Amino acid sequence: MSTLSDTRPAAASGRFRLGGEQGRPVHRLGLGTMRLTGPGVWGPPADRGAAVAVLRRAADLGVDLFDTADSYGPDVAEEILREALHPYDGLTIATKAGLLRTGPNEWHAYGRPEYLRQQCDQSLRKLGVERIDLFQLHRVDPQVPADEQFGALAELQAEGKVAAVGLSEVGVDQIEAARLVVDVATVQNRYNIADRSSDDVLRFCTEQGIGFIPWAPIAAGRLAEPGGALDATARRLGGTPAQVALAWLLQRSSVMLPIPGTSDVAHLEENVAAASLPLDLDTVEELDTAA
């Protein structure tokens, strides 16, 4: 396992322990795998070898948190992860269940306990592990009592099939309700410099030491356009708007765990380099004001 003295680029993002002081340490800048599938997050990628290369290069760069889901493909991303990185020495693999797929860009919440258990077992087989490092509820299904969904996660954890439990797209009330049933190690909500609708959730996670995994971390819209705040800052610092967006996230909270996704090695290397991009307080204030 990599150490705190690790000199690989991702190490500059700092460390966070999933699940508290006794949890698994990961570099805060991870990698999402949704883009390693076909159009509409459906089917295999056009170039499977390129997808494998991205994952292996990420590990070379010190990325040790890889986020996936049974619904990416579906099944495709988990299988590519296994091909590229098994047996995952020193790596943390996070996956998700709770969404059904019926076609490209079609997603449906489905949180019946027996389904979550079935999908957990399938992810164990597809990833080739005896225990999933981080198992996340992809969505809370409004048609199923929330306590039943949280209870299923707690049972899987008690049985040793899951090391840590996470939630996705939830509010503070849902996190608090879940914590009455199971320890919550992470929360994964949409969050970026242009979309801070989950600021209250981030504050709660920061106060409670819960990892916050922002999806769509570099979706900055007009801020990244020529002349925008991210573009201006990037030009001044010799970086790119995407790097500035990631650097901003990393300084936003000590529990922030961005997982930018890509299917291109050069883009991956650019993203990981964001861990070393310096943002002083004046720059951060300028970006906050612009956003």
Annotated catalytic residues are 72
225 to 5, 85, 103, 217, 247: CA distances (angstroms) = 37, 36, 32, 16, 17
Cβ proximity of 44 and 263 under 8 Å:
no
Question: Which letter does DSSP use for residue 37 in this model?
Answer: S
Cβ proximity of 145 and 112 under 8 Å:
no
Whether the bond into 226 is cis, omega within 30 of 0: no
Q: Which of 180, 185, 237, 173 is nearest to 19 (CA)?
A: 185
Cβ proximity of 212 and 205 under 8 Å:
yes
Tell me the chain's radius of gyration from C-alpha atoms.
Answer: 18
Q: Residue 16 corresponds to which tokens in the numbers above?
A: 């966070």
Give the helix/strand (H/E) hosting 131. Answer: none
Q: Residue 63 corresponds to which tokens in the numbers above?
A: 């990325």
Backbone torsions φ then ψ of 132, nearest 5 degrees: -85, 130
**HSE value, Cβ hemisphere, 13 Å, CA-based, for 94:** 31
- Report angle CA 15, 18, 21 to the nearest 5 degrees: 80
